[in-house]
Protein backbone atom coordinates (compact mmCIF):
# COMPACT_ATOMS: atom_id res chain seq x y z
CA UNK A 1 0.00 0.00 0.00
CA UNK A 2 1.39 3.38 -1.03
CA UNK A 3 2.02 5.55 2.02
CA UNK A 4 2.46 8.88 0.24
CA UNK A 5 4.82 11.67 1.24
CA UNK A 6 5.52 12.39 4.93
CA UNK A 7 3.24 14.83 6.72
CA UNK A 8 4.39 18.43 6.30
CA UNK A 9 6.01 17.71 2.92
CA UNK A 10 5.16 20.02 0.01
CA UNK A 11 3.64 17.80 -2.67
CA UNK A 12 3.66 18.04 -6.45
CA UNK A 13 0.71 19.56 -8.27
CA UNK A 14 -0.88 19.55 -11.70
CA UNK A 15 -3.93 21.22 -13.20
CA UNK A 16 -7.38 20.01 -12.20
CA UNK A 17 -8.48 20.22 -15.85
CA UNK A 18 -7.19 21.20 -19.25
CA UNK A 19 -7.12 24.85 -20.29
CA UNK A 20 -6.62 26.29 -23.78
CA UNK A 21 -5.17 29.52 -25.15
CA UNK A 22 -5.46 30.97 -28.66
CA UNK A 23 -3.20 33.70 -29.94
CA UNK A 24 -0.45 34.68 -32.34
CA UNK A 25 3.24 33.86 -32.31
CA UNK A 26 5.38 36.91 -31.54
CA UNK A 27 8.06 36.34 -34.17
CA UNK A 28 6.23 34.55 -37.01
CA UNK A 29 2.86 36.27 -36.58
CA UNK A 30 1.11 32.93 -37.19
CA UNK A 31 -1.97 31.85 -35.26
CA UNK A 32 -1.41 29.13 -32.65
CA UNK A 33 -3.57 27.02 -30.34
CA UNK A 34 -2.03 25.86 -27.05
CA UNK A 35 -3.62 23.51 -24.50
CA UNK A 36 -2.13 22.79 -21.07
CA UNK A 37 -3.29 19.41 -19.76
CA UNK A 38 -2.94 17.64 -16.39
CA UNK A 39 -0.08 15.15 -16.09
CA UNK A 40 0.87 12.49 -13.53
CA UNK A 41 3.37 12.94 -10.71
CA UNK A 42 7.06 13.07 -11.71
CA UNK A 43 6.05 13.84 -15.31
CA UNK A 44 7.46 17.36 -15.28
CA UNK A 45 6.59 19.92 -17.95
CA UNK A 46 6.58 18.40 -21.44
CA UNK A 47 5.74 20.12 -24.74
CA UNK A 48 4.02 18.21 -27.57
CA UNK A 49 3.86 19.55 -31.14
CA UNK A 50 0.44 18.38 -32.40
CA UNK A 51 1.00 19.83 -35.88
CA UNK A 52 3.72 17.31 -36.75
CA UNK A 53 3.53 13.75 -38.03
CA UNK A 54 2.83 11.30 -35.21
CA UNK A 55 5.63 9.07 -36.51
CA UNK A 56 8.09 11.76 -35.41
CA UNK A 57 9.25 12.24 -31.82
CA UNK A 58 7.10 15.30 -31.09
CA UNK A 59 7.67 15.50 -27.32
CA UNK A 60 10.15 17.88 -25.70
CA UNK A 61 10.63 17.49 -21.93
CA UNK A 62 11.70 20.77 -20.33
CA UNK A 63 15.23 20.25 -19.04
CA UNK A 64 18.61 21.98 -19.45
CA UNK A 65 19.86 19.66 -22.20
CA UNK A 66 16.85 20.67 -24.32
CA UNK A 67 17.90 24.34 -24.39
CA UNK A 68 18.84 25.86 -27.74
CA UNK A 69 20.52 29.25 -27.40
CA UNK A 70 18.42 32.09 -28.84
CA UNK A 71 18.89 35.75 -27.96
CA UNK A 72 15.26 36.92 -28.28
CA UNK A 73 13.42 34.07 -26.53
CA UNK A 74 13.80 30.75 -24.74
CA UNK A 75 13.85 27.80 -27.16
CA UNK A 76 13.97 24.06 -26.53
CA UNK A 77 14.29 21.09 -28.83
CA UNK A 78 14.76 17.32 -28.98
CA UNK A 79 17.10 14.98 -30.86
CA UNK A 80 14.59 14.70 -33.73
CA UNK A 81 14.97 18.41 -34.46
CA UNK A 82 11.54 19.36 -33.08
CA UNK A 83 11.60 22.77 -31.39
CA UNK A 84 9.36 25.12 -29.44
CA UNK A 85 10.18 28.81 -28.96
CA UNK A 86 9.11 31.66 -26.66
CA UNK A 87 8.26 29.36 -23.75
CA UNK A 88 9.44 31.75 -21.02
CA UNK A 89 6.13 33.47 -20.11
CA UNK A 90 4.29 30.16 -19.92
CA UNK A 91 7.10 28.57 -17.89
CA UNK A 92 7.07 31.53 -15.50
CA UNK A 93 3.31 31.14 -15.02
CA UNK A 94 3.66 27.40 -14.31
CA UNK A 95 6.51 27.97 -11.86
CA UNK A 96 4.87 30.97 -10.22
CA UNK A 97 1.63 29.06 -9.67
CA UNK A 98 3.46 26.01 -8.37
CA UNK A 99 2.44 23.66 -11.20
CA UNK A 100 5.03 20.90 -11.46
CA UNK A 101 3.49 18.47 -13.95
CA UNK A 102 1.75 19.34 -17.22
CA UNK A 103 1.55 18.35 -20.87
CA UNK A 104 1.63 21.42 -23.12
CA UNK A 105 0.16 20.73 -26.56
CA UNK A 106 0.54 23.31 -29.33
CA UNK A 107 -0.01 23.29 -33.07
CA UNK A 108 3.02 25.31 -34.07
CA UNK A 109 6.67 26.00 -33.23
CA UNK A 110 6.05 29.01 -30.97
CA UNK A 111 3.99 29.68 -27.84
CA UNK A 112 1.40 32.48 -28.36
CA UNK A 113 2.46 35.85 -27.00
CA UNK A 114 -1.06 36.75 -25.75
CA UNK A 115 -0.72 40.14 -23.98
CA UNK A 116 3.07 39.92 -23.60
CA UNK A 117 2.96 38.86 -19.95
CA UNK A 118 2.16 35.73 -17.93
CA UNK A 119 -1.17 37.01 -16.62
CA UNK A 120 -3.44 35.28 -19.20
CA UNK A 121 -1.80 31.93 -18.43
CA UNK A 122 -2.15 32.50 -14.69
CA UNK A 123 -5.83 33.45 -15.13
CA UNK A 124 -6.46 30.25 -17.09
CA UNK A 125 -4.75 28.12 -14.46
CA UNK A 126 -6.67 29.76 -11.64
CA UNK A 127 -9.94 29.23 -13.53
CA UNK A 128 -9.54 25.44 -13.71
CA UNK A 129 -7.68 25.11 -10.40
CA UNK A 130 -4.86 22.86 -9.25
CA UNK A 131 -4.84 19.23 -8.15
CA UNK A 132 -2.43 17.98 -5.48
CA UNK A 133 -0.60 14.74 -6.13
CA UNK A 134 0.56 11.95 -3.85
CA UNK A 135 4.26 12.62 -4.41
CA UNK A 136 6.79 14.75 -2.57
CA UNK A 137 8.33 17.72 -4.35
CA UNK A 138 12.09 17.82 -4.73
CA UNK A 139 13.97 21.04 -5.34
CA UNK A 140 17.46 22.04 -6.41
CA UNK A 141 19.23 23.77 -3.52
CA UNK A 142 22.15 26.00 -4.44
CA UNK A 143 25.15 25.17 -2.24
CA UNK A 144 27.73 27.58 -3.59
CA UNK A 145 27.78 30.59 -5.90
CA UNK A 146 27.86 30.06 -9.66
CA UNK A 147 28.24 32.95 -12.11
CA UNK A 148 28.35 33.41 -15.89
CA UNK A 149 29.31 36.54 -17.84
CA UNK A 150 29.08 37.93 -21.35
CA UNK A 151 30.56 41.39 -21.81
CA UNK A 152 28.90 43.80 -19.36
CA UNK A 153 26.10 41.33 -18.62
CA UNK A 154 26.25 38.70 -15.90
CA UNK A 155 24.00 36.37 -13.95
CA UNK A 156 24.62 34.59 -10.66
CA UNK A 157 23.02 32.01 -8.39
CA UNK A 158 23.87 32.17 -4.68
CA UNK A 159 22.84 30.01 -1.70
CA UNK A 160 19.58 31.16 -0.08
CA UNK A 161 16.77 29.41 1.83
CA UNK A 162 14.16 30.17 -0.85
CA UNK A 163 14.01 31.60 -4.35
CA UNK A 164 14.83 35.30 -4.55
CA UNK A 165 15.30 37.22 -7.79
CA UNK A 166 17.24 40.49 -8.05
CA UNK A 167 17.57 42.26 -11.38
CA UNK A 168 19.16 45.44 -12.69
CA UNK A 169 18.71 47.03 -16.12
CA UNK A 170 20.03 50.25 -17.65
CA UNK A 171 18.73 51.70 -20.92
CA UNK A 172 19.43 55.09 -22.51
CA UNK A 173 15.72 55.67 -23.10
CA UNK A 174 14.25 57.89 -20.40
CA UNK A 175 11.07 55.80 -20.38
CA UNK A 176 13.15 52.90 -18.95
CA UNK A 177 16.46 54.24 -17.63
CA UNK A 178 18.12 52.52 -14.69
CA UNK A 179 15.90 50.12 -12.73
CA UNK A 180 16.65 47.67 -9.92
CA UNK A 181 14.36 45.41 -7.91
CA UNK A 182 14.65 42.39 -5.64
CA UNK A 183 11.79 40.15 -4.54
CA UNK A 184 11.46 36.91 -2.60
CA UNK A 185 9.30 34.69 -4.78
CA UNK A 186 7.26 33.36 -1.84
CA UNK A 187 3.58 32.47 -1.78
CA UNK A 188 1.70 34.65 -4.31
CA UNK A 189 4.46 37.21 -4.92
CA UNK A 190 4.89 36.24 -8.58
CA UNK A 191 1.19 36.51 -9.33
CA UNK A 192 0.74 39.84 -7.51
CA UNK A 193 4.01 41.58 -8.39
CA UNK A 194 5.29 40.23 -11.70
CA UNK A 195 2.77 38.20 -13.70
CA UNK A 196 1.08 41.14 -15.49
CA UNK A 197 4.34 42.84 -16.58
CA UNK A 198 4.78 42.83 -20.35
CA UNK A 199 7.76 42.26 -22.55
CA UNK A 200 9.29 45.58 -23.60
CA UNK A 201 11.38 46.95 -26.44
CA UNK A 202 12.49 50.16 -28.08
CA UNK A 203 10.82 51.32 -31.29
CA UNK A 204 14.19 51.15 -33.06
CA UNK A 205 14.48 47.48 -32.06
CA UNK A 206 10.99 46.80 -33.45
CA UNK A 207 11.93 48.39 -36.76
CA UNK A 208 15.15 46.37 -36.95
CA UNK A 209 13.46 43.06 -36.08
CA UNK A 210 10.66 43.52 -38.60
CA UNK A 211 13.18 44.44 -41.30
CA UNK A 212 14.79 41.06 -40.56
CA UNK A 213 11.56 39.05 -40.53
CA UNK A 214 11.16 38.94 -36.74
CA UNK A 215 8.49 40.21 -34.31
CA UNK A 216 5.87 39.98 -37.07
CA UNK A 217 3.21 39.30 -34.43
CA UNK A 218 4.27 42.14 -32.15
CA UNK A 219 1.87 45.01 -31.53
CA UNK A 220 1.55 47.92 -29.12
CA UNK A 221 -1.00 45.76 -27.26
CA UNK A 222 1.26 42.77 -26.58
CA UNK A 223 4.47 44.64 -25.77
CA UNK A 224 5.52 47.77 -23.93
CA UNK A 225 7.15 49.85 -26.68
CA UNK A 226 9.17 52.95 -25.84
CA UNK A 227 10.93 55.67 -27.79
CA UNK A 228 13.16 58.00 -25.80
CA UNK A 229 11.05 59.40 -22.96
CA UNK A 230 7.77 58.30 -24.56
CA UNK A 231 5.77 55.13 -23.94
CA UNK A 232 4.03 54.30 -27.22
CA UNK A 233 1.81 51.46 -25.96
CA UNK A 234 -1.77 52.51 -25.08
CA UNK A 235 -2.36 53.03 -21.37
CA UNK A 236 1.32 53.42 -20.49
CA UNK A 237 2.89 51.40 -17.70
CA UNK A 238 0.86 48.83 -15.82
CA UNK A 239 2.98 49.45 -12.72
CA UNK A 240 6.17 51.21 -11.64
CA UNK A 241 9.26 49.39 -12.88
CA UNK A 242 7.33 47.25 -15.36
CA UNK A 243 10.43 46.64 -17.54
CA UNK A 244 12.65 45.33 -14.73
CA UNK A 245 9.72 43.33 -13.37
CA UNK A 246 9.31 41.68 -16.75
CA UNK A 247 13.00 40.77 -16.77
CA UNK A 248 12.41 39.08 -13.39
CA UNK A 249 9.41 37.25 -14.89
CA UNK A 250 11.62 36.05 -17.75
CA UNK A 251 14.29 34.95 -15.29
CA UNK A 252 11.79 32.81 -13.37
CA UNK A 253 10.67 31.17 -16.61
CA UNK A 254 14.25 30.54 -17.69
CA UNK A 255 15.24 29.12 -14.30
CA UNK A 256 12.31 26.71 -14.57
CA UNK A 257 14.12 24.99 -17.44
CA UNK A 258 16.19 23.34 -14.68
CA UNK A 259 13.26 20.90 -14.41
CA UNK A 260 12.64 21.52 -10.70
CA UNK A 261 12.22 24.55 -8.39
CA UNK A 262 15.48 26.25 -7.45
CA UNK A 263 16.20 27.31 -3.88
CA UNK A 264 18.70 30.13 -4.14
CA UNK A 265 19.17 33.81 -4.95
CA UNK A 266 19.33 34.76 -8.61
CA UNK A 267 21.03 38.06 -9.46
CA UNK A 268 20.94 39.37 -13.02
CA UNK A 269 22.69 42.44 -14.44
CA UNK A 270 21.66 43.18 -18.02
CA UNK A 271 21.13 39.43 -18.37
CA UNK A 272 18.84 37.79 -20.89
CA UNK A 273 17.53 34.37 -21.88
CA UNK A 274 20.86 33.10 -23.19
CA UNK A 275 22.82 34.04 -20.09
CA UNK A 276 20.26 32.62 -17.65
CA UNK A 277 20.15 29.39 -19.64
CA UNK A 278 23.95 29.16 -19.45
CA UNK A 279 23.74 29.79 -15.71
CA UNK A 280 21.32 26.90 -15.18
CA UNK A 281 23.60 24.61 -17.15
CA UNK A 282 26.68 25.81 -15.27
CA UNK A 283 24.99 25.17 -11.92
CA UNK A 284 23.90 21.64 -12.75
CA UNK A 285 27.26 20.81 -14.35
CA UNK A 286 28.99 21.35 -10.98
CA UNK A 287 27.93 18.58 -8.52
CA UNK A 288 29.44 20.54 -5.61
CA UNK A 289 27.29 23.61 -6.37
CA UNK A 290 23.87 22.05 -5.75
CA UNK A 291 21.95 19.18 -4.18
CA UNK A 292 18.49 17.63 -4.26
CA UNK A 293 16.28 18.36 -1.25
CA UNK A 294 12.73 17.38 -0.36
CA UNK A 295 10.60 20.47 0.19
CA UNK A 296 9.05 20.35 3.64
CA UNK A 297 8.30 22.30 6.81
CA UNK A 298 8.74 26.07 6.76
CA UNK A 299 10.44 25.82 3.39
CA UNK A 300 7.18 24.58 1.85
CA UNK A 301 5.40 27.82 2.76
CA UNK A 302 8.08 29.86 0.95
CA UNK A 303 7.68 28.16 -2.44
CA UNK A 304 6.48 30.37 -5.33
CA UNK A 305 3.16 28.51 -5.68
CA UNK A 306 2.34 28.00 -2.01
CA UNK A 307 -0.93 29.64 -1.09
CA UNK A 308 -1.57 31.17 -4.52
CA UNK A 309 -5.27 31.93 -4.97
CA UNK A 310 -7.63 33.73 -7.28
CA UNK A 311 -7.48 36.66 -4.85
CA UNK A 312 -3.85 37.20 -5.82
CA UNK A 313 -5.00 37.50 -9.43
CA UNK A 314 -7.87 39.83 -8.58
CA UNK A 315 -5.39 42.16 -6.89
CA UNK A 316 -4.08 42.97 -10.40
CA UNK A 317 -7.45 44.20 -11.69
Q: Which residues contact 118 (CB under 8 A, 6 or more apart)?
A: 89, 90, 92, 93, 96, 194, 195, 196, 249, 253
Query: How many alpha carbons lie under 13 Å from residue 102 in its C-beta half-sphere?
Result: 29
Cβ proximity of 147 and 156 under 8 Å: yes
Strand order in the sheet with 67-68: 67-68, 75-77, 83-85
Cβ proximity of 143 and 289 under 8 Å: yes
CB atoms under 10 Å from CB of 55, counted, come to 6
d(CA 274, CA 202): 20
N- to C-terminal Cα separation, the chain: 46
Residues annotated as part of the active site: 273
Amino acid sequence: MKSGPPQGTFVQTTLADSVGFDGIALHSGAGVRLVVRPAPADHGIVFLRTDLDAALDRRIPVRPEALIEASLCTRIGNSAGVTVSTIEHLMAALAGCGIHNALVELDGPEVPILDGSSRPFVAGFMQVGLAVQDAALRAIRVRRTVEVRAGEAWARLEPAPHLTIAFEIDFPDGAIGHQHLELALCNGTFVRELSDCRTFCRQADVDFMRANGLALGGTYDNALVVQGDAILSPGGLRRDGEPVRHKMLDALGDLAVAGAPILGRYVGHRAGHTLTGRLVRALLADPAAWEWVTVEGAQAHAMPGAGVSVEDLRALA
